[in-house]
Structure 1
């Protein structure tokens, strides 16, 4: 009887692990629902809500077997907040990047890193970056960038299930204070947790939740690593997507901080929309099946690059 019970428990655990190894619409929705809750008030740097989100991210990393650095999962820094023209400067506020790792298995290539990043902060109640005339209204930031943060958690979970295939190491970074001027990624690239020359590719996800009917996924920077344009086009098409692949066009999100340091990048997004930087950027408008497809695209990109021995090096697109 005891043997049967143990066998049953083992089967349940095995099925649970297998279920967690897949990106699901339900988990994407659950992450975005938490991140865009009224309690979290737009995830503004320096607030209790910001700290609550950081705890959520760390808890998820831990539960999925993502390791922290020697200093832990947090990389703290002080953020200078944007103010409207003519307003007095605000005091610096504490926030942080949240960083996790999966170590590669090759004795040499494990010292090389592919970074997957997304910013978790948003505009709080609006401020100078808001596109809305509504004052003191929560800017929920479902697409910008709860969608990217949810994708970060889901892809890291799936990569953990495939860690035996990884030759290179993979680093996951949830950046703080992106909306204040790419502050989290700038801080990381000035205070890297591994030598910058060991980071071979940085993939950034900023607004990946609004895949359109034509299934268009856009990216800049595909020409910054060898064969990147053809690789991203062919892989996207094979997964039923319509990739808009730009060799340059690095854009204006956190991957720019890495590009400026001579690191190959991909900046991934599903396009702009009228709800950008307004209180109307909400969960109801997220295309959950579409985001799942985008997650699979990025997962496959990382899996193939991290499990290969091909050289990845920077190609300047300026």
Structure 2
């Protein structure tokens, strides 16, 4: 299974981080093409729509100089859908799994690029085409399950993360289900560069009951060395959920010198590692969606 999943992971990452999409900056054609690509697979793998659409549009403000743009408000969208749970009662509870698909486009002054003078496409192969690749690999595996997990699962790919978690903030403020129905959020941001020590880092594992124990148990036969933090929630889209008192875990494979530069390209992606990470998070997602214990929020320092 891993060899096939590694190929799939690579295929998704390669498309999303290609020059054709010009760094997926919100409000651009490339960002919209990335959203359309994600939507295509959401549909293919049988996700149900909320409000007759996989899109949740929102607007964000862009500073002048970023991505060759004049100061302006632009339209972008989160892409989302859900798998209905198999348990008559528990299907009214939701687990969210997400990854942002936007990046810095061509960079430029005012952007988060580490090389503001290098006006070049920031492909973001690790940040965060890798997280979306994992999301789509996990969804494909869920789609193959004869019996779906007990709780319902929302799959979401956010836009506007780089500008300050804007897509996830918009989502938590415009939820398609009651807030108390969302029990746990799993987020993947930069999961494409698994190192030689096979370290998958996570923060927030202690935000739901027995979360740390679960993540430790999943280490067995995973081929990974998870570095598990009960707290240390971190700085990506899962923080938007944590701030609303929703249990949230963020996964990543670590930082590198190509972060937020034009050099974060597909040739540096470890797709075999991406498959191992996807499988681990798939197992976590499935177990949490089938949790015997009641799920509730546990605040961490």
TM-score tier (shorter) = over 0.9
Q: How far off its partner does 1:122 sit?
A: 0.2
Contact 1:115/1:201 (CA < 8 Å) preserved in 2?
yes
What is the correspondence of 1:67-78 to structure 2 with a 5 Å cutoff?
A: 67-78=48-59
Matched residue, 2:227: 244
User: What is the DSSP-based 3-state SS (H/G/I as helix, E as strand, rest coil) of the residue aligned with 1:56?
Assistant: helix
Alignment gaps of 5+ in structure 2: none
Residue 241 (structure 2) aligns with: 258
> In structure 2, what is the equivalent of residue 80 of structure 1?
61
1:10 alignment counterpart: none
| Deviation, structure 1 residue 83 | 5.2
Alpha-carbon spacing, 1:159–1:146, altered in 2? closer, same or farther (3 Å) = same
Distance 1:247 1:23, change over 3 A: farther
Native 8 Å contact 1:23 1:155 kept in 2:
no
Matched, 1:230 2:216: no
Aligned to 1:111: 92
Equivalenced residues, count: 297
Q: Cα offset for 1:69?
A: 1.1
Is the Cα–Cα contact under 8 Å of residues 125 and 265 in structure 2 kept in the other structure?
yes
Q: Give the whole-Å Cα distance in 2 for the aligned partners of 1:46 and 1:293.
A: 33
Structure number with larger C-alpha Rg: 1
Q: CA deviation at 1:66?
A: 1.4
Distance 2:90 2:14 in 1: 38
| CA contact 2:65–2:71 (8 Å) conserved in 1 | no
Deviation of 1:133 after TM superposition, in Å, equals 4.7
CA distance in structure 1 between the partners assigned to 2:182 and 2:163 by the alignment: 25
Q: CA deviation at 1:23?
A: 5.8
Give 2:265's match in structure 1, choosing from 282, 295, 304.
282
User: In structure 1, what is the Cα distance between the partners aligned to 2:234 and 2:288?
Assistant: 23
Whichever structure has more helix as a proportion of its residues is 1
Match of 2:80 in 1: 99
Q: Distance in 2 between matches of 1:38 and 1:137?
A: 10
Take 2:214 and 2:121, find their aligned partners in 1: how far apart are those partners?
A: 40
Deviation of residue 57 (structure 1)? 0.8
* CA deviation profile, 1:42-65 (whole Å, cap 9, x unmatched): 000001111111111111111111
1:146 paired residue number: 129
Pick aligned residue for 1:201 from 180, 184, 189: 184
Distance in 1 separating the partners of 2:240 and 2:150: 25
Q: Is the 8 A contact 1:131 1:278 kept in 2?
A: yes
Matched, 1:32 2:18: no
Unpaired stretches in structure 1, ≥5 consecutive residues:
1-18
Partner in structure 2 of residue 267 of structure 1: 250
Q: Partner of 1:11 in structure 2?
A: none
* Cα RMSD, aligned residues only: 1.8
Q: Does structure 1 conserve the Cα–Cα contact (< 8 Å) formed by 2:63 and 2:72?
A: no
8 Å CA contact 1:23–1:154 kept in 2: the answer is no
